[in-house]
Structure 1
Amino acid sequence: MDEAKALTIAGSDSSAGAGVQADLKTFSALGVYGSTVLTCVTAQNTLGVYLVEPLEPRLVEMQYKAVLEDPGFDAVKTGLLPSKPIVELVVRELKKLDKPIVVDPVYIAGTGFKLSSEEAYETLVRGLIPIATVVTPNVNEASKITGIRVETVEDAEEAARRISSLGVELVVVKGGHLKGAPVDVILHRGRMLKLRGTRVEGSFHGAGCCFSAAIAAMLAKGLKPLEAVKEAKRFIETAIAHHHKVGSGIKPVNPMARLFMEAEKWSIVENVRQAIRLLEAEPKVSRLIPEVASNLVMALSYARSPSEVVGIPGRIVKVSGGVKAVMEPVYGASRHVARTVLTAMRFDPEVRAGMNIKMDERILETCIRLGFKVSGYDRRLEPPEVKAKEGLSTSWGAEQAIKAAGGTVPDVIYHRGDWGKEPMITVLGRDAIDVVHKVLKIVEALQREPFVE
């Protein structure tokens, strides 16, 4: 069976956050071979767009015909089409196709720079949208196309109807800029649907390009338009949530995030396994195991929930002659320690692992003598709304301790307990092995002085 292939007809982004660069990353991440037809070269970065230079239509045409001849494509998407002659060329050529066409009607950059001429955009609306399978305007583009101001879901529904009347099979009015919760409005062959999303705080570069490219990739793989849009929605939410943290301006989305996370998963499990072996090889670690037992966790670099943190089901318990992990490490096996680590990662993404150990004053003093950075919080000050919801206590406490340390994540976070709550120390580090090395240092230091169980 031939490999699925997709084509992007769009501009080049020198910062690689959008345009054909983002499209190719998206195609690759979704297992689709990508080809390109460049329409223009832009000078831009995360701070803004400085120049858009359209290519000669003849060069655009020759690129397209070359790719059409070989290797070919199963679906095509269009992005930035900066001039009327280029739009007319693209319409003329794509009209000859019997393949899915995705139109991302790019008009203005997120920084406000006008990317396409007025006459080019009018030609796109009159000529390209009517032959599209899917068109993916954001609220600003939907407003430009329809002439109505799109601010609410109801406005988006009306815009979708008007765009659909141009002849396109499926319209997605993207709701990232709508007031309130982000809701994508879909009109597919007369049926109106809403896809609700999760808002990620901030502004992001390349989301529209990656979303439309993901739809094209799914269509190339044989999905129907509505299913392709739903899959692309899931894909882009991950790319936004795990955006790149580069540049001084608008952050680029990360279309490779899912691949990185999959590749990283097994290496983290192995790191925790190795760390457990180190713990089990030192019998005196049992002195540090609290009444509720211990857990050792490590998070994916992109982790946002406990399901993306490796832990030990059943925890680490005392046994005759030492300690033992009850089961093999898996994802989602910790709540409390995992939430402490997830909170620490918000302040320092390099701190991705932790282990809870017994809290008493002698152990705490030993941590300080070893030169560990130590910070604590008072569980008695926990707000009622935090106490009322399971799982919030450790996140709240970790944040208090980190803020008390000046915003720097300490090596050790502790609390002295509360009514019905055991006092606890959590040792933090870059990975599980780093955490265990710190725990073993504590054990070694305690061996040099009397210790009372």
Structure 2
Amino acid sequence: MILVVAGLDPSAGAGIFQDIKVISALGLRAYGVVSAFTVQNEKRVFSVNFREWDVMRREIEVLPTPKVIKIGLSLPAVVKKLREMFPSSRIVWNVILSSSSGFKFLDPETVDKFTEYADYVILNSEEARYLELKENFIVTGGHETGRSVRVRFRGKDFEIPRVSGEFHGTGCAFSSAFSGFLALNYSAEEAILAAMDLVRKILLRSQGDSVETEKLLREWYKHDVLNSLDEILPEFLEIGPLTVPEVGQNISYALPWAQTEFEVGKFPGRIRLKEGKAVAVSSASFKDRSHTARMAIAIMQFHPHMRCTVNVKYKKEYVERAEKKGLRVFRYDRSKEPSEVREKEGESMKWMIEQAISQLKSPPDVIYDEGWWGKEAMIRVFGRDPREVLEKIKLMLEG
């Protein structure tokens, strides 16, 4: 467990919010106590109000003993108090003398008196000039120029390629990542390297001037989408002889923020019939193109929660059962497609969905057509996720 004692930055780019985001990204449990309230945004700090130890102590003493304590913007005496309270915990103090906009937080001479109570003191190279450097100092070079960022610790330099841009909160992100890796039993040197790599990956995903650690959650979403597809594939293969059309079948499941078909999970090569059995050519992937992926993107423009689309071979009784079971069904007449829609790749699917939503006044469960010149008759089933779509298809198959 990691205890975070840090200032509250309302912009969430730095301070206790950023600390907890980074630690959570490592899958670790973080407890937090606010040590200072600030009025600030990504550009400027307007004021700070430090909290007194006696108030903070009551909040801390009811929590479990932490393995690592990460201290951010706090009165320097807080470091000593925490060392006395938790003598066996490792303390990482991210010293912040002033903001990048020039707001003065702490006096260097006062800070110097308390650095010995921390196992590791992290600060940037500009602030290090004002303090008496000690063996436990980790000096970051993010404010320096050059193609790489250097971190110095006990006479050794660690380097990593620089991500272009000016970001608010890199010091908090690095010190929190370092604390997290310490909690995972990394040595200090390995924790520095791992923290540098993690922060670089965060910055590569960040936009504007904020450290957007939350973007790492998108990696989890990608895994979840593909895992959801792979897990449910056997059930689709089992009913495949009844549902796979001549052109093949695909189960497309979009990421919540999807804008293109390459942000939609699917089965490259489609599900096809071989000797009467359904087979998948590939496991789920974001690669390859798919009509159902484009349809998922199209319906999400109107109803973002409808992230999954599956095509099913057309049978009149399937449509009748869907209507009887209460599914919202729309019949699409391809003969009424405007020529400009029919001639442009991908436009017919969007136009079809627009017509369905306009008539049904709600998200469609099923859109079907009875074929056209060179077009196989087809049923499309829509839902929130592959499981919901599968259940809708099963309703169509039940006699």
Q: TM-score, normalised by structure 1?
A: 0.54
CA contact (8 A) 2:203 2:211 kept: no
Identify which of 289, 293, 313 aligns with 1:337.
289
Give 3-state SS (helix, strand or coil) of 2:38's partner.
Answer: strand
Per the alignment, do residues 98 and 319 of structure 1 end up closer, same or farther by CA in structure 2, a change over 3 Å counting? Answer: closer
Give 3-state SS (helix, strand or coil) of 1:9's partner.
Answer: strand
Distance 1:104 1:373 in 2: 59
Distance 1:324 1:313 in 2: 15
Alignment match, 2:182: 219
Alignment match, 1:77: 70
Amino acid across the alignment from 1:369: E
Alignment match, 1:90: 78
Q: Does 2:193 align with 1:230? A: yes
Alignment match, 1:169: 136
Identify which of 2, 6, 13 aligns with 1:6.
2
* Structure 2 unmatched runs, 5+: 312-332, 351-363, 377-399
Q: Does 2:219 align with 1:254? A: no
Per the alignment, do residues 237 and 251 of structure 1 end up closer, same or farther by CA in structure 2, a change over 3 Å counting? Answer: closer
Q: After superposition, what is the alpha-carbon deviation per residue over 1:215-249, rounded to whole angstroms, capped at 9, x for unaligned?
A: 22332343221222333344444544555x8xx98
Deviation at 1:30, TM superposition (A): 3.4
Per the alignment, do residues 272 and 11 of structure 1 end up closer, same or farther by CA in structure 2, a change over 3 Å counting? Answer: farther
Distance 2:99 2:338 in 1: 53
Q: Does 2:18 align with 1:22? A: yes
CA contact (8 A) 1:133 1:225 kept: no
Alignment match, 1:154: none
Ranges of 4+ aligned residues in structure 1 off by more than 6 Å:
271-280, 306-309, 350-356, 370-377
Alignment match, 1:100: 90
Distance 1:192 1:253 in 2: 25
CA contact (8 A) 2:170 2:211 kept: no
Alignment match, 1:266: 227
Distance 2:212 2:95 in 1: 19
Q: Does 2:107 align with 1:120? A: yes
Give 3-state SS (helix, strand or coil) of 2:113's partner.
Answer: helix
Deviation at 1:213, TM superposition (A): 1.9
Q: TM-score, normalised by structure 2?
A: 0.60
Q: What root-mean-square deviation, in Å, do the aligned CA atoms of Structure 1 and Structure 2 show?
A: 5.3
Distance 1:267 1:103 in 2: 41
Distance 2:129 2:203 in 1: 27
Deviation at 1:18, TM superposition (A): 2.8
Give 3-state SS (helix, strand or coil) of 2:150's partner.
Answer: strand
Amino acid across the alignment from 2:289: V
Q: Does 2:95 align with 1:143? A: no
Identity between Structure 1 and Structure 2 (%): 22
* Structure 1 unmatched runs, 5+: 148-162, 357-364, 378-400, 413-436
Q: After superposition, what is the alpha-carbon deviation per residue over 1:309-331, rounded to whole angstroms, capped at 9, x for unaligned?
A: 7443664446467x94425633x
Q: Does 2:149 align with 1:195? A: no
Identify which of 56, 62, 69 aligns with 1:63.
56
Pair member with larger Rg: 2
Q: Does 2:273 align with 1:312? A: no
Alignment match, 1:423: none
Matches of residues 400-439 of structure 1 in structure 2 within 5 Å?
Answer: none
Distance 2:20 2:194 in 1: 17
**Number of aligned positions between the proteins:** 335
Amino acid across the alignment from 1:120: D
Distance 1:46 1:367 in 2: 55
Q: After superposition, what is the alpha-carbon deviation per residue over 1:370-416, rounded to whole angstroms, capped at 9, x for unaligned?
A: 89978969xxxxxxxxxxxxxxxxxxxxxxx9xxx9xxxx957xxxx
Deviation at 1:77, TM superposition (A): 1.7
Alignment match, 2:382: none
CA contact (8 A) 1:132 1:168 kept: no
Q: After superposition, what is the alpha-carbon deviation per residue over 1:284-342, rounded to whole angstroms, capped at 9, x for unaligned?
A: x32x46xxxx87654545899x9997443664446467x94425633xx453439xx89
Amino acid across the alignment from 2:151: I
Deviation at 1:13, TM superposition (A): 2.3
Q: After superposition, what is the alpha-carbon deviation per residue over 1:339-377, rounded to whole angstroms, capped at 9, x for unaligned?
A: xx89x99xx9x6988999xxxxxxxx9599289978969
Deviation at 1:11, TM superposition (A): 0.9
Amino acid across the alignment from 2:48: V
Matches of residues 385-400 of structure 1 in structure 2 within 5 Å?
Answer: none
CA contact (8 A) 2:70 2:179 kept: yes
